[in-house]
Amino acid sequence: MTTNFLYQLNQHFPHSYAITLSAAKFELGLLSQVSETLASLHPAIRLLHQDTLVNELDWQANDTLAQAEQTSPVTTIRWIVTLESDSDINDLPQRIKQIATNNLYHVDINVMPLATLVRPHKLALFDMDSTLIEQEVIVELAKKAGIGEQVDTITESAMRGEIDFAESFTRRVTLLKGLSSEVLEDIIANHITFSPGAKRLISALKNHGYYVVLVSGGFNYFAEYVKNSLGMDESYANDLDIVDNLVTGEITSAIVDGKRKAEILQAVAQRLGIKLSETVAVGDGANDLPMLGLADIGIAYRAKPIVRDQANYAVTVAGLDGVMTVLGLGD
């Protein structure tokens, strides 16, 4: 379905939503369950159009591709639905989200106003650790330093929002004091894996004219590697202070925390002349919530419960290329 066709639908049916559904298998029973769920929320909801965004043929080439270039082995269906008035439907996304979380946890269900979907978006910001890559780099550093369990505990607590990110970051970096800088290259060479579909997603965004930025609470050394590998435009992260080839354990620059990520989103958009209503943000941790909330489309990727609950959109069943279907993009 072309963007022009969606735009026309939006013009004729202004109280419409795009509902995307992704699952490993869409048997008729599952589709019936989802349909019954929607009907129970509002019997008058009307289906205007249905199309399949991803099907089983789309991932047949995965065996020949690197993980970052693969298509997630899911089927994705999109429904365009409408009701008679905005007052009837304005709470639909939250109601569907609540039911999906409780009863349809094995399906990614995202409900987006059709007006949002057809609006051009030009800037996308991504978290790095556990989003673009599968690891938390500071945890990998800690393993090399023999303090993996200590740092892992602090990291998980921070990502769940139990302790302030800046405090947790300071505590973790302090524990790295004395670590040889030689381990950084070893981690990149042997311990970093890109999330499924990451390269495919970034390439698709670039093909559709997006400016793509990495914003990380991790370290610049790794952020630059990830940015260059995926073909992103900019990266922002923390400096890892090293003297005489040893990590000092000290923090010598401002920490890229949640507040700073939101500031970067706003600053980059302003510099490029892009409205906030034309921005997208993707992340997994509590420190990503400020930018997810500021962006027009904030997507939680395989995220902690606190992030899934607060983000408007989420990708959990699919890989990172599932962001493409939320945004309505092809390759």
- Residues with Cβ within 8 Å of 307's Cβ and at least 6 positions away in sequence, in order, are 283, 284, 285, 286, 288, 289, 292, 300
State the average pLDDT over residues 251-271: 94
Q: Which residue is catalytic, options 129, 257, 284, 321? A: 129
User: Residue 209's pLDDT band (boundaries 50, 70, 90)?
Assistant: very high
Q: What pLDDT digit, counting tens, does each position of 93-120 carry? A: 777 777 666 667 788 999 999 999 999 9
Higher pLDDT, 178 or 89: 178
As a whole number, mean pLDDT of residues 162-187 equals 90
* 96-to-102, 215, 237, 245, 313 alpha-carbon distances in Å: 10, 30, 36, 53, 11
129 in catalytic set: yes
Here the tokens at position 237 are: 């992260």
* 3-class SS letters over the chain: CCHHHHHHHHHHCCCEEEEEEEECCCCHHHHHHHHHHHHHHCCCCEEEEEEEEECHHHHCCHHHCCHHHCCCCCEEEEEEEECCCHHHHCCHHHHHHHHHHHHCCCCEEEEEEHHHHHCCCCEEEECCECCCECCCHHHHHHHHHCCHHHHHHHHHHHHCCCCCHHHHHHHHHHHCCCCECHHHHHHHHHCCCECCCHHHHHHHHHHCCCEEEEEEEEEHHHHHHHHHHHCCCEEEEECCCEECCEECCCCCCCCCCHHHHHHHHHHHHHHHCCCHHHEEEEECCHHHHHHHHHCCEEEEECCCHHHHHHCCEEECCCCCCHHHHHHCCCC
* pLDDT digit string, tens, across residues 285-312: 989 999 999 999 999 999 988 899 899 9
pLDDT of residue 237: 96
Alpha-carbon gap, residue 323 to 314, rounded angstroms = 8
Q: Which of 127, 257, 284, 288 is catalytic?
A: 127
pLDDT value for 2: 62
Domains and their CATH numbers in the chain: 1-118 (3.30.70.260)
- Identify the CA nearest to 229 among candidates 217, 209, 212, 248: 212
Q: pTM to 2 decimals?
A: 0.93
Please confirm, yes or no, whether 127 is among the known catalytic residues: yes
Region 81-86: what's the mean pLDDT?
74
At 282, the amino acid letter reads V
User: Is the pLDDT reported for residue 87 higher than 60?
Assistant: no
Residue 132 one-letter amino acid: L
Compute the distance between CA of residue 151 and CA of residue 148 in angstroms, rounded to an integer: 5
What is the structure's pLDDT at 107? 87
User: Structure tokens of 158?
Assistant: 């921070």
Among residues 248, 193, 233, 239, the alpha carbon closest in space to that of 220 is found at: 239
Average pLDDT, the chain: 90
88 has pLDDT over 60 = no
pLDDT value at position 178? 93
| Average pLDDT rounded to a whole number, residues 6-30 | 89
Q: To 10 degrees, what angle do helices 198-207 and 220-230 make?
A: 60
For the cut 60, the answer to whether the pLDDT of residue 236 exceeds it is: yes
| Segment 27-82, tens digit of pLDDT | 888 888 888 888 887 777 889 999 999 999 999 999 999 999 999 999 999 999 98
CA neighbours closer than 13 Å in the CB half-sphere of residue 154: 19
Amino acid making up residue 261: K
Calculate mean pLDDT across residues 207-233. Answer: 97
Q: Per the structure block, which two tokens stand in for 72? A: 């997630």
